[in-house]
Amino acid sequence: MTTIEKSALPTTDALRSRVRDALAAVGVTVDLGAPGAGGLATSTPITGDVLFTIDESTVEQADAAIAEAAQAFSAWRVTPAPVRGALVARLGQLLVQHKADLAALVTIEAGKITSEALGEVQEMIDICEFAVGLSRQLYGKTIASERPGHRLMETWHPLGVVGVITAFNFPVAVWAWNTAIALVCGDTVVWKPSELTPLTAVACQALIERACADVGAPAGVSRLIQGGREVGERLVDDPRVALLSATGSVRMGRQVGPRVAQRFGKVLLELGGNNAAVVTPAADLDLAVRGIVFSAAGTAGQRCTTLRRLIVHSSIADELVSRIVAAYRQLPVGDPFADGTLVGPLIHETAYRDMVGALQQAVAEGGEVIGGEHVDMGDEGSFYVTPAVVRMPGQTAVVHSETFAPILYVLTYDTLDEAIALNNAVPQGLSSSIFTLDIREAERFLSAEGSDCGIANVNIGTSGAEIGGAFGGEKETGGGRESGSDAWKAYMRRATNTVNYSAELPLAQGVHFG
């Protein structure tokens, strides 16, 4: 399968110029070193070239950042929540002002097409608006007491320093999900971004520092540390970090979770996804094709909510696969800045090798591969591919594994029970969907005996979650919840309060003592 169109790539010098312009616009004053000058290399998947180097945080600097955040927490936790909301409101205003600048950096470092990069920054703006409203709604409960003359209630208090570790594929939105909510909850934040996207992090830090200065908030409420594993481990192991929110692989979560638990810290883990869509004979296939193509091919298959398994009824499988393949052939691959491009690059060579290996394994396990070809853009350092559709004889080992690339495995079923079982058979449990116009099928999929994922959709794909709902998944996805709904409770501590306003001292459960 070949694409109809591919766009030419920009020059590395042109990309460097765009970086300088975007950073200058948001007020970044950090020195950008030449490639190979030492420090943390900032590269782009668009060409595969290193653009600049920036300073990498030392362990001592990471410790100092945590100390600054811990000190700022002492003042921030007693700042009224609506006043804390003013800081987040100002951040949201700055994001609106610099939406295009930040989106350009996202495209350069993560390879997202322009509309998706702009959409990611819009997520930041949306969560700021949500958090500002939340700053006046951190409600507790009043509970009926069994004792006369007593009031029983719950109150919520700031938790402490929140450590945030983010992945390359959403280099700014996930930081904003955590930071906007944490700040209005009275927490302070120390952020370690992916080593692959340091420039977007520098830009975000500049904007939050401007927001702090504008509203008079302590600068230490948000700190940034840059680097690799050694720096991230300071957040994992430091007892001053009350909550660690980490987004990444299941392998990473298996290491991080126990280490934080060992010191009795709290974790919020957003790990792998192996997401499926069920398509029944009652589906609107036009709608289904559109939802499937975006969910499977968007962001070059590098979203945690990317559609990776298509579970389609055997009576419509041939027709649906044929339509998806035809749609894939019309997806322009190339420069993510170019108008009309829908599929940008994979993040690096390792991602490409992983995709090649997964497709080879699929063939060895009886699969039929359509697409998945390397697209030669005339630059050896970048890795562009066509999305792949792989018809599988069953849910084999490769189907149970998540490969961060545009691979869509197609499985067939005959009964809805079988489809739900296939959806739930993998160890991950992030997102899922069903395409059907049959209300019984839809409600069954959403019921307790249906999808076991944290996200279950009807007649939309698996990706593209709104910030109003809590985001996260079950099983090996980690169980964490970020963004909307009552996800804010993860960033606060609960206290149960009993107030005796009587002159007596009755004990609970009818206990008599003395």
The reported pLDDT for the residue numbered 487 is 97
Residue 134 clears pLDDT 80, i.e. is over it: yes
- 114-134 vs 99-110: helix crossing angle, rounded to 10: 120
Spell out a b/e string for 211-247, using b for 16 or more CB atoms within 10 Å of the CB, else e.
Answer: bbeebebbebbbbbbbbeeebbbbbbebebbbbbbbb
270 is annotated as an active-site residue: yes
| pTM of the model as a whole | 0.96
The reported pLDDT for the residue numbered 17 is 96
The reported pLDDT for the residue numbered 7 is 59
Higher pLDDT, 379 or 466: 466
DSSP 309-322: EEEEETTTHHHHHH
Give the pLDDT mean for 166-183. Answer: 98
Give the pLDDT mean for 206-233. Answer: 97
The CA–CA distances, whole Å, from 342 to 6, 114, 198, 243, 327 equal 10, 9, 24, 37, 12
Residue 4 clears pLDDT 80, i.e. is over it: no
Which residues are CB-neighbours of 216 under 8 A, at least 6 positions away? none
Distance CA 312, CA 94 (A): 45
The reported pLDDT for the residue numbered 299 is 97
Distance CA 413, CA 424 (A): 14
Tell me which residue of 340, 379, 293 sits closest to 7, measured CA to CA. 340
Tokens for 154, please give them: 């719950």
Residue 2 clears pLDDT 60, i.e. is over it: no
Q: Which tens digits make up the pLDDT trace of 252-289?
A: 999 999 999 999 999 999 999 999 999 999 999 999 99
453 is annotated as an active-site residue: no
Q: Which tens digits make up the pLDDT trace of 457-480?
A: 999 999 988 999 999 999 999 999
Q: Using the structure block, give the residue that is written with the tokens 């559709």.
A: 389
The reported pLDDT for the residue numbered 514 is 79
Q: Which tens digits make up the pLDDT trace of 290-339?
A: 999 999 999 999 999 999 999 999 999 999 999 999 999 999 999 999 99
Distance CA 487, CA 397 (A): 34
Name the catalytic one among 68, 195, 270, 441.
270
Give the pLDDT mean for 207-214. Answer: 98
Give the pLDDT mean for 195-222. Answer: 97
The reported pLDDT for the residue numbered 1 is 47
Tell me which residue of 63, 59, 65 sits closest to 190, measured CA to CA. 65
The reported pLDDT for the residue numbered 379 is 81
Distance CA 412, CA 345 (A): 30
Q: Which tens digits make up the pLDDT trace of 138-156?
A: 999 999 999 999 999 999 9
Give the pLDDT mean for 380-394. Answer: 96
Name the catalytic one among 304, 402, 441, 453.
304
The conformation of residue 1, written as its DSSP 8-state character, comes to: -
Residue 389 clears pLDDT 50, i.e. is over it: yes
**Mean pLDDT computed over every residue of the chain:** 96
DSSP 103-145: HHHHHHHH---HHHHHHHHHHHHHHHHHHHHHTT-----EE--
Q: Which tens digits make up the pLDDT trace of 50-87?
A: 999 999 999 999 999 999 999 999 999 999 999 999 99
Question: Percent of the chain at pLDDT above 90?
Answer: 95
Tell me which residue of 103, 104, 86, 105 sits closest to 180, measured CA to CA. 86
Residue 207 clears pLDDT 70, i.e. is over it: yes
Amino acid occupying residue 7: S
DSSP H or E segment with residue 58: none
Residue 364 clears pLDDT 80, i.e. is over it: yes
- 81-97 vs 99-110: helix crossing angle, rounded to 10: 70
Q: Which tens digits make up the pLDDT trace of 410-459?
A: 999 999 999 999 999 999 999 999 999 999 999 999 999 999 999 999 99
Tell me which residue of 354, 59, 341, 360 sits closest to 227, measured CA to CA. 59
Tell me which residue of 470, 476, 489 sits closest to 177, measured CA to CA. 470
Which residues are CB-neighbours of 87 under 8 A, at least 6 positions away? 183, 211, 212, 215, 217, 221
The reported pLDDT for the residue numbered 120 is 98
Question: Percent of the chain at pLDDT above 70?
Answer: 99
The reported pLDDT for the residue numbered 424 is 98
The reported pLDDT for the residue numbered 6 is 52
